[in-house]
């Protein structure tokens, strides 16, 4: 009689890659919503109607009307009726402007009109950092990790997807409502409410993040772990890239900043459903695992105990990975929040294309993260990959700081290099954690890493927003903003890179001492 050998569902290639694709899609929708506001910084920080022209420039409606009226009075044209509310797509406007110091007659055709929200850079920075606020101050990520290890993947993932959706809807409501100047917590009501929404969303997104990491480890340990993690991160980056590339065109087309958020919330509903489908697979995987154990006469693995936290906190390797994560990601995700405006004001890129250059960064990582992940699976060298990525991050930020080569093509090259760095470090960092921390404590370990990382994701945008208002905003004698000088904010980002290099060096030497295996291949032959 043929012997029947019980197999786990995850032993089937099709099943485990399907599970990976399904949860990654949910995460992709989350990443889209995380970055959907980044290209809208200029629109959010402009007061009143913003008018876009067919030549790809934008102007505040008030200053434009003043110019058109001055011109019509001087040239006896009759435009006295023209007012901000009357500006519409297709209108042809004549006015005088200074070109190289000479007053010149200009003519522009309006291509789109959108509503600017008049936030300050500090408010924009506060809103962007709100993502990590609940995670950090209410320790929600930490508790999320404990819930994940205690209650399991299905319960935690469903809860966190629900939180993401609720947060996205609050944010959409705040951005689509005119609060008529009312205040909340001593702050512009719209900024405060949008920040609350983003904070709830951020709590859900981060807990979903650790849950998805645990899902991948569950299905891929001993198999193509780093490749699977790389592909999951790559799909998440597609979400970021789409957000950076399409958010501004959508806001311009629809005339308001709230629409890209609404589309993201609709996509997230589909992501929620796809997570429900994963839950069915997860149940089957658990059942097949129990059957394998019974056949082999093995006992069920011990669950997570609070005492296990001591083992995590006591590991020096764990702390070095955590600090590297804090410094490296502080130099990337918060940078993306400000990068579109940097392209406009440092590199002179027209606003409608400006989001496309930062979008190159996640696009590059879509191919490279799985590639480096598979490299790590086969040949190892994880600690070295993280060191090289940190060096590249630092060089890139120094180049963005210096007042040299302020051309759009140079920004493109530098952004591509940053994309390579942003593939190297995550592809080696996340699959390295299970080499230091055992599986049953992994939810908590990822949660603590994400918790510390969130301090950076929250505080860095706050700091940079404030620094832009204080040290980077250029004004004329009347106080009107004339441009931005990004030297100080970019120097701060370079410092994060330098710290990352030092920590990556320490991690490599710790690995050599403790033999975590970070330089070894993941696939055992
Ligand atoms: C996998 C890893 N995820 C994170 O670091 C998250 N804690 C932060 C996500 C922020 C999304 N803009 C990664 O994306 O490399």
Task: Flag whether pLDDT at 383 surpasses 50.
Answer: yes
Residue 469 lies in a domain: yes
Could you give the CA distance from residue 17 to residue 58 in angstroms, rounded to a whole number? Answer: 46
- Name 508's Cβ contacts closer than 8 Å, sequence gap at least 6: 383, 384, 386, 387, 518, 519
pTM: 0.84
Which residues span the domain enclosing 153?
A: 16-45+118-288+302-514
Q: How does DSSP assign 380-402, residue by residue? A: --HHHHHHHHHHHHHHHHHHHHS
Give the integer Cα–Cα distance in Å for 434 and 437.
5
Span of 37-46, 408-417, 462-471 with lowest mean pLDDT: 37-46
Question: Could you say which DSSP state residue 403 is in?
Answer: S
User: Is residue 507 within 8 Å of 518, Cβ to Cβ?
Assistant: yes
pLDDT at 304: 59
Helices then strands, each counted (H, E), the chain: 19, 8
Span from the CA of 110 to the centroid of ligand 1 (angstroms): 39
Which protein residue has the closest C-alpha to ligand 1 atom 8?
206
pLDDT value for 397: 97
Residue 269 has pLDDT above 80, yes or no: yes
Both 219 and 91 in one domain: the answer is no
- What local confidence, expressed as pLDDT, does residue 20 receive? 96
Strand partners, 133: none
* Position 461 in a domain: yes
Q: What share of the chain is helix, strand, coil (3-state, %, to 5)?
A: 70, 10, 20
- Looking at the fold, whether 235 and 311 belong to one and the same domain comes out as yes
Which range, 139-148, 185-194, 336-345, 503-512, is most confident?
503-512
Is the predicted pLDDT of residue 79 greater than 70, yes or no?
no
> Which of 59, 87, 116 is the endpoint of a domain?
116
- Beta strand extents in 71-230 (DSSP E only): 92-99, 102-117, 183-184, 187-188
Q: Does the pLDDT of residue 71 top 90, yes or no?
A: no
Q: Which of 108-122, 153-167, 316-330, 375-389 has the lowest mean pLDDT?
A: 108-122
Same domain, 131 and 187: yes
**Residues 86, 198: one domain?**
no
Please tell me the least confidently modeled range out of 30-34, 41-45, 281-285, 301-305: 301-305
Same domain assignment for residues 139 and 112: no
User: What kind and span of H or E run contains 428?
Assistant: helix 408-436
**Last residue of one domain, picked from the residues 71, 98, 116:** 116
**520 belongs to a structural domain:** no
pLDDT, position 1: 44
Report if residue 227 sits inside a domain: yes
Residue 467 binned pLDDT confidence (cut-offs 50, 70, 90):
very high
User: In terms of Cα–Cα distance, which of 155, 413, 445 is closest to 322?
Assistant: 445
Residue 76 clears pLDDT 60, i.e. is over it: no
Does residue 374 share a domain with residue 225? yes
Which position has the higher pLDDT, 451 or 62?
Answer: 451
Q: How far apart are CA 239 and CA 245, in angstroms?
A: 10
| Average pLDDT value for residue range 154-177 | 97
The pLDDT value given to residue 23: 97
Q: What is the largest CA-CA distance in the chain?
A: 102
Centre of ligand 1 to C-alpha 429, Å, is 12
44-53, 60-69, 141-150, 398-407: segment of lowest average pLDDT: 60-69
Span 436-447, mean pLDDT? Answer: 83
- By most ligand atoms within 8 Å of CB, the mutation choice from 131, 236, 324, 458 for ligand 1 is 236
On whether both 430 and 309 belong to a single domain, the answer is yes
Residues 102 and 224 in one domain: no
Pull the structure tokens for residue 320.
């070095």
Give dist(CA 96, CA 70) in Å, integer. 8
SS3 331: coil
85 to 50, 117, 297: CA distances (angstroms): 11, 15, 76
How remote is the C-alpha of 38 from its chain's centroid? 9
What CA dihedral angle connects 34, 366, 424 and 141, to 10 degrees? 30
Tokens of 73: 């009075």
Using the predicted structure, report yes or no on whether residue 77 has a pLDDT greater than 70: no
- 309: which DSSP letter? H
User: Which CATH number do you get for residue 274?
Assistant: 1.20.1250.20
- Residue closest via CA to ligand 1's atom 11 equals 31
Q: Is the pLDDT of residue 64 over 80?
A: no
Which of 209, 214, 235 has most ligand 1 atoms within 8 Å of CB, for mutation? 209
Pocket test for ligand 1, best of 199, 450, 500 (most atoms within 8 A of CB): 450
| Per-residue pLDDT at 384 exceeds 50 | yes
pLDDT of amino acid 474: 87
In 3D, which of 387, 390, 388, 370 has the Cα closest to residue 378?
Answer: 370
Considering just the CA atoms, what is the radius of gyration of the chain in Å? 25
Domain end, chosen from 97, 116, 135, is at 116
In a domain, 189, yes or no: yes
Asked whether residue 75 carries a pLDDT value surpassing 90, the answer given is no
Strand partners for 117: 47
* Mean model confidence pLDDT for the chain: 88
- Residue 136's pLDDT is 92
How many angstroms does the Cα of residue 178 sit away from the middle of ligand 1?
32
Q: How high is the ipTM of this complex?
A: 0.96
The first and second tokens of residue 292, run together, are 């394998």
CA 77 to chain centre: 49
Q: For residue 97, what are the contacts with CB-CB under 8 A and spacing of at least 6? A: 67, 103, 104, 106
pLDDT exceeds 60 at position 379? yes
Separation of alpha carbons 234 and 25, rounded Å: 11
Domain co-membership, 276 together with 148: yes
Q: How far apart are CA 363 and CA 370, in angstroms?
A: 12
The per-residue pLDDT for 164 is 97
The answer to whether residues 70 and 148 belong to one domain is no
Binding pocket residue ranges, ligand 1, CB within 6 Å: 31, 34-35, 206, 209, 233, 236, 329, 333, 426, 430, 450, 453
Residue 470's pLDDT is: 92
Q: Give the mean pLDDT of 122-145.
A: 91
pLDDT tens digits for range 275-285? 999 999 999 99
Task: Tell me whether residue 233 is exposed, middle or buried, using C-beta atoms within 10 angstroms of its C-beta: 0 to 12, 13 to 18, 19 or more.
Answer: buried
In this prediction, residue 80 carries a pLDDT of: 55
Give the span between the Cα atoms of 54 and 113, in whole angstroms. 11
Q: Total structural domains in the chain?
A: 2
Cα of 443 from ligand 1 centre, angstroms: 15
pLDDT for 19 equals 96
Length of the chain, in residues? 525
Opening angle at CA 126, ends 265 and 390, nearest 5: 90
Q: Alpha-carbon distance 301 to 46, whole Å? A: 57
The answer on 358 and 411 residing in a single domain is yes
Helix (H, G, I), strand (E, B) or coil at 348: coil
- Would 476 be classed as within a structural domain? yes
Q: What are phi and psi of 101, to 5 degrees?
A: 85, 0
pLDDT score of 11: 87
Q: Any residues with CB less than 8 A from the CB of 473 and at least 6 apart, and which?
A: 121, 481, 484
For residue 6, being part of any structural domain is answered with: no
Q: What is the mean pLDDT of residues 60-66?
A: 72
Tell me, yes or no, whether 72 and 123 share the same domain.
Answer: no
Q: Has residue 146 been placed in a domain? A: yes
- Quick one: average pLDDT of 254-261? 92
**Rounded distance, CA 367 to CA 365, Å?**
5
């Amino acid at each position: 009689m043929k012997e029947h050998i019980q197999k786990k569902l995850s032993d089937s290639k099709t099943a485990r890659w399907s599970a990976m694709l399904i949860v990654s899609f949910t995460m992709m929708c989350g990443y889209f919503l995380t970055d959907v506001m980044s290209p809208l910084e200029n629109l959010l920080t402009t007061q009143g109607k913003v008018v876009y022209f067919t030549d790809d420039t934008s102007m505040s409606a008030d200053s434009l009307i003043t110019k058109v009226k001055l011109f019509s009075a001087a040239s006896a044209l009759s435009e006295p009726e023209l007012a901000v509310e009357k500006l519409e797509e297709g209108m042809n406007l004549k006015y005088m402007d200074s070109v190289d110091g000479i007053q010149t007659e200009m003519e522009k055709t309006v291509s789109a009109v959108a509503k600017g929200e008049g936030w300050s850079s500090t408010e924009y920075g506060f809103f962007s950092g709100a993502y990590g606020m609940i995670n950090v101050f209410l320790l929600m990520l930490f508790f999320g990790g404990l819930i994940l290890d205690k209650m399991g993947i299905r319960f935690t993932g469903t809860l966190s997807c629900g939180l993401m959706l609720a947060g996205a809807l609050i944010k959409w409501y705040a951005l689509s409502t005119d609060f008529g100047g009312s205040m909340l917590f001593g702050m512009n009501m719209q900024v405060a409410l949008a920040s609350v929404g983003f904070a709830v969303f951020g709590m859900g997104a981060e807990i979903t993040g650790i849950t998805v990491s645990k899902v991948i480890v569950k299905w891929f340990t001993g198999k193509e772990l780093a490749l699977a993690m790389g592909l999951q991160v790559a799909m998440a980056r597609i979400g970021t890239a789409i957000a950076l590339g399409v958010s501004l065109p959508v806001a311009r087309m629809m005339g308001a900043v709230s629409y890209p958020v609404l589309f993201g919330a609709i996509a997230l509903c589909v992501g929620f459903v796809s997570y429900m489908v994963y839950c069915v697979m997860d149940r089957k995987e658990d059942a097949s695992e129990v059957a394998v154990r019974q056949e082999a006469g093995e006992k069920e693995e011990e669950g997570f105990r609070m005492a296990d936290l001591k083992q995590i906190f006591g590991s020096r390797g764990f702390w070095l990975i955590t600090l590297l994560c804090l410094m490296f990601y502080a130099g990337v995700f918060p940078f993306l929040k400000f990068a579109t405006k940097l392209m406009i004001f440092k590199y002179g890129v027209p606003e409608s294309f400006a989001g496309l250059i930062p979008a190159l960064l996640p696009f590059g990582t879509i191919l490279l993260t799985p590639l480096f992940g598979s490299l790590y699976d086969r040949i190892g060298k994880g600690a070295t990959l993280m060191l090289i990525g940190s060096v590249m991050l630092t060089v890139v930020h120094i180049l963005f700081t210096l007042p040299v080569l302020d051309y759009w093509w140079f920004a493109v090259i530098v952004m591509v290099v940053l994309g390579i760095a942003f593939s190297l470090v995550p592809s080696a960092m996340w699959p390295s954690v299970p080499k230091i921390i055992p599986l049953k404590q992994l939810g908590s370990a990822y949660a603590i890493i994400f918790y510390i990382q969130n301090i950076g994701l929250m505080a860095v945008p706050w700091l940079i927003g404030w620094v832009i208002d204080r040290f980077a905003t250029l004004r004329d004698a009347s106080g009107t903003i004339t441009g931005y000088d990004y030297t100080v904010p970019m120097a701060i980002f370079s410092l994060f890179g330098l710290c990352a290099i030092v920590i990556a060096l320490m991690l490599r030497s710790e690995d050599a001492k403790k033999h975590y295996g970070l330089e070894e291949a993941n696939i055992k032959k």
